[in-house]
Amino acid sequence: MQNRQKAVNLLGLAMRAGKVVTGTETVIADLKKKKVKLVVLASDLQKNTIEKVSRAANKNNVSMISEFTAVELENAVGKKRKVLGLTDSGFCKALVKKINEGV
């Protein structure tokens, strides 16, 4: 549970550093521009939105994670968002590491 909170905190830190884009359309647009390095989806996201974002991510060879609920993502970034895109590879590596350590 502790690593889960650290991972959420890391998302917040990335947001404050300006390394996160939020919202379905923005993330998809930035995937196409090759800006997004990792997509974070809420685990309780609607199926059609998941498919839409998945298509764009797969097309651009970008990994996706859906470890967090919409509420956790909202708390992390301070906005009601269910789709996030990390634009910094350092934050991506750190987040994946935290998740792999056991969220």
CATH assignment at residue 25: 3.30.1330.30
For the chain, the domain total comes to 1
pTM of the model: 0.94
Q: Which domain holds residue 14?
A: 2-100
- Per-residue pLDDT at 103: 56
Radius of gyration for the chain, computed over Cα atoms and rounded to the nearest angstrom: 12
C-alpha–C-alpha distance, residues 12 and 81, integer Å: 13
Residues 6+ apart with CB under 8 A from 95: 7, 10, 11, 14, 38, 40, 65, 86
Tens digits of residue pLDDT in 33-92: 999 999 999 999 999 999 999 999 999 999 999 999 999 999 999 999 999 999 999 999
- Per-residue pLDDT at 43: 95
Token representation of residue 66: 């859906």
Instruction: Tell me which residue has tokens 């991972």.
Output: 7
pLDDT at 101 over 90: no
Tens digits of residue pLDDT in 15-26: 999 999 999 999
At 1, the pLDDT band (50, 70, 90 cuts) reads: low
Residues 6+ apart with CB under 8 A from 15: 22, 76, 77, 78
- Per-residue pLDDT at 88: 96
